[in-house]
Amino acid sequence: MTPGQLRKHGQFRSRFLRNQRDIIIYLPPDYDQQPQRRFPVLYLHDGQNLFDGATAFNGQDWHVGQTADYAISAGLIEPLIIVGIYNTKARIREYTPTKVPKLGGGRADRYAKFLIEEVKPFVDRDYRTQPEALRTGIGGSSLGGLVSIYLGLKFSYIFGKIAALSPSVWWNQRVIVRFAAAAPVEPRPRIWLDIGTREGPRIVDDVEKFRDVLLAKGWQYERDLHYERVEGAEHNEAAWAARVGPFLQFLFPPG
């Protein structure tokens, strides 16, 4: 089995966002050796933190490539394509659904247009994907987790899987909790949700309020929702790297 490979597309332009950004794409082992096979896709935010310590925040990346290679070769997950979308200096604006005083924000709907109308069509055209919602995931951590929840619930007919690691549920007085409670979500995406116990006061309570809304709306533990309170975990790349294998196994189980 040949290892997975990374392909970088530099300075991807958008009609909807001002800043160009790089996109890095992980192709699973033996991708080139299986020219007839198509693969599910996972879109992850903060792309520079995923694969390479040289580009990652504080030099600590998520080891997504190595983890996916191992999990695929061990039969723990199905082979998949992973698309890492770099963030920019507009990260807070792009990853938040509403604007708040001092912090700004509120451009998540434009970021959604960028993803849905530009990035996804490009990936589906240039790579052998399974483009339907049940085979398409979205994920990230912190504000990247927040925007993954927002877009995954709002566009569940496009994204059928969500990975929300330490999501910033606190944003704008927990606006995402109110959004989830009010939104008609059909079909329901499969959701991985987690939080570390050392991420700050009230953070666990915020995420568990969001979890309780999902349960009230019909999500069921281990069928289409996995929630994990990670004892001792902090709010950093090293903590999220440790959860890559488990969330891939929940969202993309083999066979």
Whether the Cβ atoms of residue 185 and residue 219 lie closer than 8 Å to each other: no
* Tokens standing for residue 211: 């979890």
Cα–Cα distance measured from residue 183 to residue 110, given in angstroms and rounded to the nearest whole number = 19
* Single pTM value for the model: 0.98
Give the chain's residues under pLDDT 70.
none
pLDDT tens sequence across 74-94: 999 999 999 999 999 999 999
Give the pLDDT score at 56.
Answer: 87
Per-residue CA distances from 51 to 23, 24, 46, 100, 148 (Å): 12, 9, 11, 32, 19
Task: Quickly tell me which residue has 């196994």 as its tokens.
Answer: 249
Give the pLDDT score at 58.
Answer: 85
Give the pLDDT score at 27.
Answer: 98
Give the pLDDT score at 165.
Answer: 98
Strand order in the sheet with 136-141: 5-12, 21-27, 81-85, 41-44, 136-141, 161-165, 190-196, 225-230
Instruction: Print burial letters for 107-140: b (CB count within 10 Å at least 16), e (below 16).
Output: bbebbbebbbebbbeebeeebebeeebebbbbbb
Q: Which of 77, 82, 39, 46 is nearest to 61 (CA)?
A: 46
Give the pLDDT score at 2.
Answer: 86
Whether the Cβ atoms of residue 21 and residue 88 lie closer than 8 Å to each other: yes
Cross-strand bridge partners of residue 194: 165, 228
Structural domains of the chain in order of their starting residue, each with its CATH number: 5-251 (3.40.50.1820)
For the packed helices 171-182 and 203-216, what is the interaxial angle rounded to 10 degrees?
Answer: 10
* Tokens standing for residue 129: 């994907």
Maximum pairwise Cα distance, the chain: 52
Give the pLDDT score at 29.
Answer: 97
Give the pLDDT score at 53.
Answer: 87
